[in-house]
Amino acid sequence: MKRCFLGIIIFFILSQSACEVDHGLAPVPGRLRAQVAFRGNPPEDTQGVYLIVAPEFPPHAINELFQSPNSLPLNQDTVWTEIDLPYGHYEAYGLWWYSKDTRSNLADILAMPFDGMTFEPLGFTISKEEPFVERHLNANWENMNRDAAIRGTVYFEGEFPENTAVTAVAAFNQKPLSVVFYLVWLKSIDMTVEKGVKQHNFILPIKSGYVGYIAIFWLAENAPLYDVQIIGEAMDPDRPGELWKKAVKPDSTLSGVEIFVDWEQVKPALPEEML
């Protein structure tokens, strides 16, 4: 679970660089060609949609992620798009949606195919024997329809660790129980928590419906990829000891969510150099 949530963080960082990777001047020998079938209409704040490919998922570095240089046409029901790639195995591919108004992150994956048995992303291999690969993607614009929101506050007791790298609030359909569900069940994420604050007010734009888990995550600078930690969970004020679980109606904002983080209690779980 920690590895996949770190992928959310990595994708957020990648998105700030527009994920444009310079792969050199030499032509690459292979190509992925994808047929994309859109359903519905794009949100008004759509900036573009790009084909992305990851040799490893989640990627560990910027130069591991490939992205098509141009957005797909947004006014067609079915389009073909392609990306040139070196020989090798690729663990995941999909479509990444960009908004005009907000920073993109892994909650903005418009389409990514998964294996129905293992729930792992479907990959492909490009080789000298098979340099051109074709795949199909179904993209439902309704997935990007953020017609509701959750508003709340995180309260911090004590001091942030000096080597804090990322602190983020995320909402899920339900509490993830295995690695892949950190992606499949992710509804929204806020990565604007500033180091040192005593409280952070968050707004999570979501698609209306059931929300079964909200939590705050923390990662240390230079920490191993598997060291992402849950440092606080939203609890239901009407049901002591129970996690916060609500249905959010369309065109509404559900307010009053509270998460409490006591750094003294979190501290034993931090890396040894911070104890």
Position 34 scores a pLDDT of: 96
* Domains delineated in the chain: 2-141 (no CATH), 148-274 (2.60.40)
Judge if the upstream peptide bond of residue 58 is cis by omega within 30 degrees of 0.
Answer: yes
Cβ neighbours around 158 below 10 Å, total? 13
Q: What is the pLDDT along the chain (275 residues), one digit of tens a residue?
A: 444 444 445 444 444 444 444 444 457 899 999 999 999 999 888 999 999 999 987 665 555 779 998 999 998 999 999 999 999 999 999 999 988 877 666 678 889 998 877 777 899 999 999 999 999 999 999 888 888 999 999 999 999 998 888 899 999 999 887 656 666 788 888 888 999 999 999 999 998 999 999 999 888 887 654 567 889 999 998 898 999 999 999 999 999 999 999 998 887 565 555 54
Position 191 scores a pLDDT of: 83
Full DSSP string of the chain: -HHHHHHHHHHHHHHHTTT-----SSPPSEEEEEEEEEES---TTEEEEEEEEESSSS-SSGGG-EE-SSPPPSS-SEEEEEEEE-SEEESEEEEEEEESSS---GGGEEE--B-TTT-PBP-EEE-SS--EEEEEEEEEGGGG---EEEEEEEEEESPPPTTEEEEEEEEESS---STTHHHHTEEEEE--PPTT-SEEEEEEEE-SEEE-EEEEEEEETT--GGG-EEEEE-B-TTSTTPBP-EEE-TT-EEEEEEEEEEHHHHGGGS-GGG-
Distance CA 44, CA 160 (A): 38
Q: How many residues does the chain have?
A: 275
139 within 8 A of 77, measured Cβ to Cβ? no
Structure tokens of 245? Answer: 């679980």
Position 268 scores a pLDDT of: 56
**Cα dist from 218 to 52, 65, 211, 265, whole Å:** 26, 24, 21, 14
Whole-model pTM: value is: 0.71
Distance CA 21, CA 96 (A): 15
Residue labelled with tokens 């005593």:
198
Name, in order, each residue with C-beta under 8 angstroms of 24's C-beta and a sequence gap of 6 or more: none
Structure tokens of 58? Answer: 């989640």
Name, in order, each residue with C-beta under 8 angstroms of 227's C-beta and a sequence gap of 6 or more: 2, 219, 220, 271
